């Protein structure tokens, strides 16, 4: 497998904020820990897989691939610079501790802001960013709160609206898991809804991630670069 190269962002143990310090405490949300690409024969090009709790930003001609159940993925790019990225996250459970939902929203904002900041660090301009978002299906069993997929979907759409980032396309909600392939250089996105029941491995991965982010302290905020 080949490395992504010096300006592809991956493999760092912890995202950095505007000052170079860690972006915030709390549940891990990191750049994809493996900076290696693999050849994806479906698309005839190198690819990187994005797992729950990860994001990946690149300027290379690659495809970013993820599997989504209740989680959401935001695909954000600067079309002029041909730099883009993908994240994969969900909001932590509130456990009824905060009726306003502010604490889970802070983690969601953190998941978006660290990726946007990395785009800007690599040369993107915030006023040129565009987004496509996917996921948020109702696939996790045994929920005590309002459907987590709905909350994830509503959060990411609202975040983009508040931050003034145009939403160019979306495929959210429903009851089916999705496989998403995103091409940051061109902005193309391909979505395949899985006709069968959500794969057991994906279900377990999302449940483990949900437990992890819901049991730890909520991440602090990260100031967006202009």
What distance in Å separates the CA atoms of residue 95 and residue 40, rounded to the nearest whole number?
40
Q: Is 71 a catalytic residue?
A: yes
β-strand partners of 131: 76, 167
Closest CA to 72 of 46, 57, 93, 50: 50
Tracing tokens 């931050």 back to the chain, one arrives at 163
| CB-CB contact of 148 with 95 (8 Å) | no
* DSSP track, 189-216: EEEEE-SSSPPHHHHHHHHHHHHHHHHS
What distance in Å separates the CA atoms of residue 171 and residue 41, rounded to the nearest whole number?
25
Helix or strand run (H / E) with residue 109: helix 102-121
| CB-CB contact of 184 with 85 (8 Å) | yes
* Choice among 35, 48, 62, 71 that is catalytic: 71
* DSSP track, 3-34: E--TTSB---SS-B-TTSSBS-SSS--EE-S-
What distance in Å separates the CA atoms of residue 197 and residue 200, rounded to the nearest whole number?
8
Catalytic residues: 71
């Amino acid at each position: 497998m080949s490395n992504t190269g010096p300006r592809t962002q991956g493999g760092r143990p912890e995202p950095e904020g505007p000052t170079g310090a860690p972006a915030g405490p709390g549940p891990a949300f990191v750049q994809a820990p493996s900076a290696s690409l693999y050849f994806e024969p479906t698309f005839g090009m190198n690819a990187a897989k994005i797992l729950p709790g990860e994001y990946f930003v690149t300027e290379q001609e690659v495809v970013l691939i993820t599997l989504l159940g209740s989680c959401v993925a935001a695909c954000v790019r600067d079309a002029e610079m041909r730099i883009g990225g993908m994240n994969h996250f969900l909001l932590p459970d509130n456990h009824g501790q905060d009726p306003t939902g502010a604490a889970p929203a802070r983690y969601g904002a953190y998941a978006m802001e660290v990726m946007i900041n990395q785009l800007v660090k690599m040369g993107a301009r915030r006023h040129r960013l565009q987004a496509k978002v996917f996921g948020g299906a109702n696939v996790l069993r045994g929920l005590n709160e309002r459907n987590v997929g709905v909350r994830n979907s509503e959060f990411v759409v609202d975040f983009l609206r508040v931050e003034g980032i145009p939403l160019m396309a979306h495929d959210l909600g429903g009851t089916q898991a999705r496989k998403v392939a995103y091409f940051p250089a061109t902005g193309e996105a391909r979505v395949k809804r899985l006709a069968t029941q959500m794969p057991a491995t994906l279900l377990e991965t999302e449940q483990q991630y949900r437990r992890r982010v819901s049991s730890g302290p909520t991440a602090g905020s990260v100031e967006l670069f202009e």
